[in-house]
Chain A
């Protein structure tokens, strides 16, 4: 069982290290969010799993408390991490930051909605008559 504990710990730490590589190498916020959120959640699941297995096998006075509290801390990580990632992505999209290599932001509705004067100008230039029949 010792090898199971150590391999779970190594998997968790290596996956947490992958998030560091993704944060340093990716060009963009929206790609960095993939690297920052999912890998840290996955890695912390395995680290907590290793600690829980260790505390169940080598049982002593404080081990049950440590196991239960670390499971609660894992639940905090699992619930808060995707919500904060969604909030960051929405805020950066609404504050006008385009994805890497993209020319037109399709989600920026405000720049695509035209005012009434611009629509009138388009009708006049294309020769479409009004409701009254006047150009």
Chain B
């Protein structure tokens, strides 16, 4: 039997490295929608990080935080997109 807690912790660390790379992508992109795409990817990856951390430390509270973060970031993305459309007009 493997030590699954440390394996899950390592995979959460790998996802955090992914998030750091996408932050570099946000810093060097040219216009606003490209940044929103990268931000949306960060939101999905943070939900995955929360699930994996909750499984590693055996606490369901982290996964609940991930669910609420996902819903709020979804609403935020929709409103930024609506703002981009209204700014054109």
Q: Which of B44, B45, B47 has the most C-beta atoms of chain A within 10 angstroms of its own C-beta? A: B44
Chain A, interface SS category: helix
Number of interface residues of A (CB under 8 A): 52
For A80, the closest partner residue in chain B by CB is: B74
Given A13-B15, A23-B38, A73-B67: A6 touches B44 (CB 8 Å cut-off): no
- Docked complex Cα distance between A72 and B54 (Å): 13
- Docked complex Cα distance between A102 and B11 (Å): 40
Q: Measuring CB to CB, which residues of chain B are less than 8 angstroms from any residue of chain A?
A: 1-2, 4, 7-8, 11, 14-15, 18, 21-22, 25, 31, 33-34, 36-38, 40-41, 44-45, 47-48, 50-52, 54-55, 58-60, 63-64, 66-67, 70-71, 74, 77-78, 80-82, 84-85, 87-88
Contacts A33-B37, A73-B51, A84-B77 supplied; 10 other A-B pairs, CB < 8 Å: A2-B1, A6-B2, A51-B52, A62-B58, A62-B59, A69-B67, A73-B47, A80-B71, A81-B40, A95-B84
